[in-house]
Every structure is written in structure tokens, then in C-alpha cells.
């Protein structure tokens, strides 16, 4: 079974609001914010990782969005927090990952769908035969 692990965590926000683009540790930015998160996830023995995006927001931001005309917020990939705490976010992601194993990396990534948006969600997956057939077809079009 393939066990995913968190390799890196990237949290970004609006530098015009927060004074910087990226956060790398727990920081007091108040209790009213909306940030973007990327969990870089791979396996223990892999060099590479895939990006899994999510949103971090506070209840105040959620309430503001609802007051300002958003009629419904669908909860996929939203972490609602009361403050920016790297350790809590990291531990939460690690707990999620412990519960998601699979026979293939794609199966693992798809199982994480309720929590994150995988960078390859809408990608077309081809086996080697399909890939080379596609290249041949495109080459033949170019030669016409």
C-alpha cells in the first residue's frame, strides 16, 4: 500500500493585507483572514511530490463572504481556523494522510479529494501505448 506523507507546506496570502506573501511559521495575523495553502505530498521514499491546494479561513471571513452576497459556500478543501497555527495545520494534514492509503498514487490522490484540490485532478492519464499513438497521430497531422 502507498502511504502519503507531507513533504512541505506552503501558505500564502495577500501581501497588501498581511505585509508579506508567504507564511512559514505560526504568526499572529489576527482572527479575520483568508489564505491559500498548498500541501506538497509524496511518499517517504520519493523525491517528488504533488501539490494539493486548500483554503484557510476564519469564521469572520466566512461570515463576511456570506454577508457580501455569497449565498452558499461549498466546503471542499476549506480549513476553518481561529488563528494561523502552522503546527495545528501540519498535524491536521498528517492525521488526514494517515487515513488515506492506496494501491496506486492516483488512488491515494483521489481519496484526498474531500480535503484538497489535487493539481492533476482534471488531467488526462495515458498509458505508454496511448501516449505513443497520440504522438504518432499528431506527427501525421503535421506532415499533411
pLDDT at position 50 is 95
pLDDT-based confidence at residue 143 (cuts at 50, 70, 90): confident
Q: 9 and 38 in contact (C-beta within 8 Å)?
A: yes
Tens-digit pLDDT profile for residues 46-92: 999 999 999 999 999 999 988 998 888 888 899 999 999 999 999 99
Model pLDDT, residue 9: 96
Q: By residue range, what is the domain housing residue 39?
A: 4-142
- Per-residue model confidence (pLDDT) at position 10: 95
Number of domains in the chain: 1
* pLDDT > 90 fraction of the chain, expressed in percent and rounded: 60
For residue 124, name the pLDDT band (cuts at 50, 70, 90): low
pTM, two decimals, is 0.81
SS3 126: coil
Amino acid at each position: 500500500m502507498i502511504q502519503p506523507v507531507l513533504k512541505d507546506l506552503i501558505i500564502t496570502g495577500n501581501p497588501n493585507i498581511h505585509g508579506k506573501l508567504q507564511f512559514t511559521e505560526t504568526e499572529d495575523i489576527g482572527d479575520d483572514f483568508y489564505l491559500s495553502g498548498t500541501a506538497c505530498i509524496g511518499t517517504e521514499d520519493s523525491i517528488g511530490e504533488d501539490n494539493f491546494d486548500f483554503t484557510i479561513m476564519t469564521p469572520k471571513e466566512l461570515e463576511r463572504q456570506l454577508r457580501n452576497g455569497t449565498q452558499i459556500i461549498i466546503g471542499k478543501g476549506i480549513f476553518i481556523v481561529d488563528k494561523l497555527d502552522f503546527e495545528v495545520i501540519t498535524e491536521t494534514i498528517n492525521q488526514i494522510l494517515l487515513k488515506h492509503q492506496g494501491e496506486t498514487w492516483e488512488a491515494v490522490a483521489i481519496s484526498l479529494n474531500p480535503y484538497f484540490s489535487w493539481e492533476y485532478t482534471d488531467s488526462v492519464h495515458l498509458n505508454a501505448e496511448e501516449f505513443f499513438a497520440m504522438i504518432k497521430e499528431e506527427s501525421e497531422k503535421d506532415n499533411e
